[in-house]
Amino acid sequence: MTPPDPGKDPMPPTPGPFTGRTIAGLAADLRERRATSAELAERALDAIAALDPVLNAFVTVDAVGALAAARRADEELAGGTDRGPLHGVPVAVKDLIMVAGLPVTMGSRHFAGHVPDADAECVARLRRAGAVIVGTTTTHEFAYGPTGDRSAAGPARNPWDPARMTGGSSAGSAAAVAAGLVPLALGTDTGGSVRIPAALCGVAGFKPAYGAIPADGVFPLSRTFDHVGVLAGDAHDCLLAYRCLAGPNGQKEIGPAHPARLGSPADLARPAGPEGTGPVRVAWLDPAGLFAGDPRVVEAVRAASGALEEVRLPEDVGAALRETYTAVQRCEAAAVHADRLAEAPELFDPEVLERLRAAAEVPGWRYVRAMDARAGLAEAVGALFGDHDVLALPTVPITAQPLGRRETEIDGAPVAVLAALLALTSPWNVLGLPALTVPAGTVNGLPVGLQLVCRPGRELLLFEAESCGPRSG
Amino acid sequence: MTPPDPGKDPMPPTPGPFTGRTIAGLAADLRERRATSAELAERALDAIAALDPVLNAFVTVDAVGALAAARRADEELAGGTDRGPLHGVPVAVKDLIMVAGLPVTMGSRHFAGHVPDADAECVARLRRAGAVIVGTTTTHEFAYGPTGDRSAAGPARNPWDPARMTGGSSAGSAAAVAAGLVPLALGTDTGGSVRIPAALCGVAGFKPAYGAIPADGVFPLSRTFDHVGVLAGDAHDCLLAYRCLAGPNGQKEIGPAHPARLGSPADLARPAGPEGTGPVRVAWLDPAGLFAGDPRVVEAVRAASGALEEVRLPEDVGAALRETYTAVQRCEAAAVHADRLAEAPELFDPEVLERLRAAAEVPGWRYVRAMDARAGLAEAVGALFGDHDVLALPTVPITAQPLGRRETEIDGAPVAVLAALLALTSPWNVLGLPALTVPAGTVNGLPVGLQLVCRPGRELLLFEAESCGPRSG
């Protein structure tokens, strides 16, 4: 994707200091002395002070720490130590990923005032790459919701319309990037929690293959499906951040039975085309096999995809992916929270509490069957990649809904908002497949996202596919 | 253990043709032309015809197949082909382990008349070792019960008192060996289903390390805990059969996360003593940490063990082993049977149906937590092996109860029979540890068993420990 052109691409009404800026551009500014890291941090902090009272993207802003880190980054660069493209760049971290010395609350009163001793591994890697952490961003409580509007810190608000939800659970990360407050943010994605808010807020979001970015030090939701991901203004910045965060250690968590193993080991070598030379083969995956979405959204995204061929998921595979996702995620989430549910249920947000209580009722035999089903589902979905490298589909089949809304309409028929938000993203968590969302225009003035999915080890193809569609033509 | 001496060791009232015979002795008879395999098969078939109407140890007797296999075995031996110690020896197979061409019913009306196409891997190995399969033995329905008295084929009866249960679920295998109808039988053991009936019927039973004998072609109960094992008149025959059935392929099913991995890989090299040279270090494990058993049983077994030192399981570890066993076994068993429960519940035995329905209610979060707990439990139990090679304890803390009895008394207090039967065996299934039961005398004229437990890779020590206790002195 090319940087947004205000005359052509839709943009949120209030641009921030990093709107339209790429990390490569910022890196060039820093190295060519057009800016210092301290200046970038100040711009971020000033913009947060000005805009965040409306957006509520941030839970904690660490002005002192950010400026100190930025000055160190400047000194290192001046002294000839260059940590790479993130060196000196302001970033935000979801309030569910441990940052040593900052309050990290999981968006929950259960963790009010909780200050971790140690960084999550992904945060440690950010720091080693020279990034400047400016603060933590609003998460749906315990990441247990795709709307982003239920948090002890209050709802995050969509920069395109602050009366609307950002989507979640990485709600503040998406809002912060969409509003141009930071050029990059970390999120987590168990069923779509990076991609859903990225799509609804009009930014790029990348959920790599399962385990590619280590989840150590990230508060768990559903360990079989939990992924760490990145949000940025464009896809290339996601790739750049991914390269800094992933690596050999990132693969250590993938057990031999995880479906992500069914792909080749993740590497970033260019493997395009059947003979390794042709163009990326993109197929449109008809989303109707997963969810009957808003036709305007589906059409806009399909046009943006530029895909000529089409594949369909057999209907029973779609249903099985949904059942597998639901059973595993609920049982694992309830296992994480069983003690809190028993001892202090009143501290949960009421909707989160209700959902966790329902999760705690799912019988174990459904979990056992769901875990078993994954290998067959990986095979069924793998067959779609026989003649194609990348599947294209909408990220979310509806646009951002008003805060708190739980039922909407498509063609006059009622639709559950939570189910709609998760419908097109969660299948790829079941299989641990890399998935990228990129902005694909607007419908009624609200952003929609194009989702691109590939097999592990073929991540580069997502970014190639993204750059050759009609959107940037 | 030495062969029983009728003047010294208690024996079941009606000895069969293989009572007191070892496989080594039979093998010598065959090679020195004192007997043919066909004669051994005929002796087995005649004894089954005479005694099984009372014992109900067999579900299907394959006289034609057994005699044909025995004649082939004789021809091979005569022609110079010697397949080893099981060559020409009659064996029985639990009615839950696939035998190509014979009815295998899982003890259930759901599988009335079911004839598998292919042998289970353990049966194929038996055949390759030259064993002669004489028939299938009564299992508690779907192996889901430790009493052995609920089967579509009717209850198996204890050769020591046909009004009493054999224990289960490998009920008929234990009765057939105890009555001397065959010298060897295959069983399965998910929570004690080889060891419990072996102990209650006064024979030896060995459950090797998880995965050591492959479970392919064995109808599942709870895959995380399912083991294939062997029953024979004495421990040395169990070792001999184990060596024919286990092997490199047998290890393929152990995932990296299974606690059995925490031991060294299974091999049969002699690793005794801290420097590999000393005597086997046996500790008495006080069973009170797991279950308050019948003091007469506990004292008899302790005396038989010859153990001088004592170790105790911390009480919370015992409770956690029980909870882990229960949660995992129930969820996995309910996953196996969910469709049958929904579609044809009336075909189950009422008690099995009631237990499966309860199993289907166990919430998934308990399963997730239980699977997680295993690593810590392996560590806690592993600590007991710091100064000892082998733990000794009763196999079952009570003697064989009357058929159908579900509540008994110990010192005037009511005790649930099912819980008592499983209490001392199931912890070792949770951890995948090798465990052997050997006869340890009688209490009130009914057999009791000494259980010996070790770490994977140290199996030989069990058999050394068994042969140096006061029982055979």
pLDDT tens column, A119-143 = 999 999 999 999 999 999 999 999 9
pLDDT bin (cut points 50, 70, 90) of residue A9 is low
- CA-closest candidate to residue A170, choices A414, A350, A472, A421: A421
Q: What are the φ and ψ backbone dihedral angles of A302, each rounded to 5 degrees?
A: -60, -40
Q: What is the pLDDT of residue B268?
A: 39
User: Peptide bond before B151: cis, by omega within 30 degrees of 0?
Assistant: no
pLDDT bin (cut points 50, 70, 90) of residue A269 is very low
pLDDT tens-digit readout, A273-283: 444 557 899 99
B368 interfaces chain A, CB cutoff of 8 Å: yes
Q: What is the DSSP string of B160-205?
A: TBTTB---SSSHHHHHHHHTTS-SEEEEEESSSTTHHHHHHHT-EE
Helix (H) / strand (E) containing B40: helix B37-55
pLDDT tens-digit readout, A46-76: 999 999 999 999 999 999 999 999 999 999 9
CB-closest option in B255, B338, B368 to A335: B368
B363 interfaces chain A, CB cutoff of 8 Å: yes
CB-closest option in A257, A334, A369 to B365: A334
pLDDT, average across residues A342-367: 98
Q: What is the pLDDT of residue B473?
A: 30
B367:A369 CB<8 A: no
Q: What is the pLDDT of residue B393?
A: 98
pLDDT bin (cut points 50, 70, 90) of residue A255 is low
Interface of B with A in 295-314 (CB under 8 A): none
**Tokens 């709870």 correspond to what residue?**
B222
B363:A360 CB<8 A: yes
The residue of chain B nearest to residue A369, with distances taken between CA atoms, is B335
The yes-or-no answer on residue B94 being catalytic is yes
How many CB pairs lie under 8 A apart between chains A and B? 73
Which amino acid would we find at residue B185? A
Catalytic residue among B193, B222, B305, B426: B193
pLDDT, average across residues B437-456: 97
Q: Are B66 and B132 in contact (CB under 8 A)?
A: yes
Measure A447 CA to nearest chain B CA, in Å: 37
pLDDT tens-digit readout, B457-473: 999 999 998 876 654 33
Q: Tell me the pTM.
A: 0.92
Q: What is the pLDDT of residue A275?
A: 45
pLDDT tens-digit readout, A143-181: 999 999 999 999 999 999 999 999 999 999 999 999 999
- CA-closest candidate to residue B98, choices B139, B66, B63: B139
Catalytic residue among B37, B151, B169, B173: B169
For A17-65, what is the HEC assignment?
Answer: CCCCCCHHHHHHHHHCCCCCHHHHHHHHHHHHHHHHHHHCCEEEECHHH
pLDDT tens-digit readout, A380-437: 999 999 999 999 999 999 999 999 999 999 989 999 999 999 999 999 999 999 999 9
- Residue ranges of E strands in B47-104: 58-61, 90-94
**Tokens 């196409």 correspond to what residue?**
B117
Q: What is the pLDDT of residue B465?
A: 86
Question: Biggest alpha carbon distance in chain A?
Answer: 63
B373 interfaces chain A, CB cutoff of 8 Å: no
B163 interfaces chain A, CB cutoff of 8 Å: no
Residues with Cβ < 8 Å from B413, sequence gap 6 or more?
none
pLDDT bin (cut points 50, 70, 90) of residue A441 is very high
Q: How far is residue A138's CA from residue A147's CA, in Å, rounded to a whole number?
A: 12
Q: What is the pLDDT of residue B257?
A: 62
Q: What is the pLDDT of residue A271?
A: 44
Measure B369 CA to nearest chain A CA, in Å: 6
Task: Decide which of A247 and B74 is more confident.
Answer: B74
The residue of chain B nearest to residue A326, with distances taken between CA atoms, is B364
B369 interfaces chain A, CB cutoff of 8 Å: yes
Contacts of B366 in chain A (CB under 8 A): 335, 364
Q: Which two tokens stand for residue B48?
A: 């089954």
Measure A373 CA to nearest chain B CA, in Å: 12
B28 interfaces chain A, CB cutoff of 8 Å: no
Burial class (CB in 10 A: 0-12, 13-18, 19+), A78: exposed
Mean model confidence pLDDT for chain B: 92
The residue of chain A nearest to residue B363, with distances taken between CA atoms, is A363
A366:B364 CB<8 A: yes
Superfamily of structural domain A1-473: Amidase signature (AS) domain (3.90.1300.10)
CB-closest option in A257, A335, A369 to B369: A335
- Pairing outcome for strands B282-285 and B309-311: parallel
pLDDT bin (cut points 50, 70, 90) of residue B278 is confident
The yes-or-no answer on residue B193 being catalytic is yes
How far, rounded to the nearest angstrom, does the alpha carbon of residue B187 sit from its chain's CA centroid? 5
Contacts of B365 in chain A (CB under 8 A): 331-332, 334-335, 338, 359-360, 362
Tell me how crowded residue A129 is: count the other CB atoms within 10 A of its CB. 18
Q: Which two tokens stand for residue B114?
A: 């079911």
Instruction: Write down the domain spans for chain A.
Output: 1-473
Q: Is the pLDDT of residue B271 over 60?
A: no
Please report, rounded to a whole number, the percentage of residues in chain A having pLDDT higher than 90: 86
Q: What is the pLDDT of residue A265?
A: 38
pLDDT bin (cut points 50, 70, 90) of residue A3 is very low
- Rounded to 10 degrees, the C-alpha dihedral A100/A103/A104/A105 comes to 160
- Which range is least confidently modeled, A259-263, A400-404, B300-304? A259-263
Q: What are the φ and ψ backbone dihedral angles of B201, each rounded to 5 degrees?
A: -105, 0
Contacts of A332 in chain B (CB under 8 A): 365, 368
Q: CA distances (Å), A446 to each of A165, A171, A203, A356, A439, in order?
A: 11, 16, 12, 31, 11
Q: Which two tokens stand for residue B104?
A: 């295998």
Measure B332 CA to nearest chain A CA, in Å: 6
In this predicted complex, what is the ipTM?
0.90
pLDDT bin (cut points 50, 70, 90) of residue B103 is very high
Cα angle for residues A274, A275, A279 (degrees, 5° grid):
65
Measure B435 CA to nearest chain A CA, in Å: 27
The residue of chain B nearest to residue A222, with distances taken between CA atoms, is B368
Measure A256 CA to nearest chain B CA, in Å: 8
pLDDT bin (cut points 50, 70, 90) of residue B259 is low
Q: What is the pLDDT of residue B107?
A: 98
The yes-or-no answer on residue A305 being catalytic is no
CA end-to-end span of chain B, whole Å? 9
CB-closest option in A256, A361, A372 to B363: A361
The residue of chain B nearest to residue A366, with distances taken between CA atoms, is B335
A334:B364 CB<8 A: yes
Q: What is the pLDDT of residue B433?
A: 97
Q: Is the pLDDT of residue B276 over 60?
A: no
A332:B255 CB<8 A: no
The residue of chain B nearest to residue A336, with distances taken between CA atoms, is B365
Burial A374-389 (b: 16+ CB within 10 A, else e): beebbebbeebbeebb
The residue of chain A nearest to residue B333, with distances taken between CA atoms, is A365
Q: What is the DSSP string of B226-272?
A: -EEEEEESSHHHHHHHHHHH-SGGGGGG--TTSGGGGSPPP--S---
Task: Decide which of B264 and A457 is more confident.
Answer: A457
B240 interfaces chain A, CB cutoff of 8 Å: no
Q: What is the pLDDT of residue B279?
A: 86
Q: How far is residue B136's CA from residue B57's CA, in Å, rounded to a whole number?
A: 9
Q: Is the pLDDT of residue B4 over 50?
A: no
Q: Are B448 and B295 in contact (CB under 8 A)?
A: no
Q: How far is residue B365's CA from residue A296's CA, in Å, rounded to a whole number?
A: 40
Q: Is the pLDDT of residue A371 over 50?
A: yes
Q: Are B140 and B200 in contact (CB under 8 A)?
A: no
Mutation for testing the B interface, residue in A226, A337, A365, A369 having most B CBs under 10 Å: A365
Q: What is the pLDDT of residue A251?
A: 37
A368:B331 CB<8 A: yes
Q: What is the pLDDT of residue A264?
A: 39
Burial class (CB in 10 A: 0-12, 13-18, 19+), B275: exposed
- CA-closest candidate to residue B1, choices B239, B192, B332: B239
Q: What is the pLDDT of residue A272?
A: 41
Q: Is the pLDDT of residue A343 over 80?
A: yes
B340 interfaces chain A, CB cutoff of 8 Å: no
**Tokens 């792909």 correspond to what residue?**
A263
A40 interfaces chain B, CB cutoff of 8 Å: no
Helix (H, G, I), strand (E, B) or coil at B453: strand
CATH code of the domain occupying B1-313+392-473: 3.90.1300.10
User: Peptide bond before A169: cis, by omega within 30 degrees of 0?
Assistant: yes
The residue of chain A nearest to residue B366, with distances taken between CA atoms, is A335
Q: What is the pLDDT of residue B248?
A: 61
pLDDT tens-digit readout, B121-134: 999 999 999 999 99
pLDDT tens-digit readout, A206-222: 999 999 999 999 999 99
Mean model confidence pLDDT for chain A: 92
Measure A167 CA to nearest chain B CA, in Å: 27
